[in-house]
Amino acid sequence: DGGITQSPKYLFRKEGQNVTLSCEQNLNHDAMYWYRQDPGQGLRLIYYSQIVNDFQKGDIAEGYSVSREKKESFPLTVTSAQKNPTAFYLCASSISVYNEQFFGPGTRLTVL
């Protein structure tokens, strides 16, 4: 089955902890993205990667970090510096940054 997987589906974090959200794709896409979705605010871009070993900040990168060591994988770390991390996180991929984006099922992060 081709597609994008995200894990875990639900994640709970204590204040002061770093957590890592997983995103994997087997679509052979070069570009991958992380978005954050808050109620009433639509989706906002956190980071994106056009190709392996390259990534760029999006609109709200503060408090987040990413890596792109493999084409298939684009993990997102939510650090303790992120002041309000409770949100729904969506990963996406596309053949290139100019092509249609396809989304994973999302991870809901809650800070306790």
Q: Which of residues 6-25 bind other proteins (CB under 8 A)?
A: 6
Is residue 1 near other proteins by the rule CB under 8 A? no
Structure tokens at 75: 């993990």
Q: Which of 51, 46, 25 is nearest to 34 (CA)?
A: 46
Q: Do 109 and 78 contact (CB within 8 A), yes or no?
A: yes
27 binds other proteins (CB under 8 A): no
Stretch that binds other proteins, among 14-22, 43-51, 67-75, 76-84 (CB under 8 A): 43-51
CA-based R_g, the chain, Å: 13
Q: Which token pair is 41?
A: 């605010």
Does 52 contact other proteins by CB under 8 A?
no
Q: Which residues bind other proteins (CB under 8 A)?
A: 4, 6, 31, 33, 40-45, 48, 50, 58, 88, 90, 92, 96-98, 100-106, 108
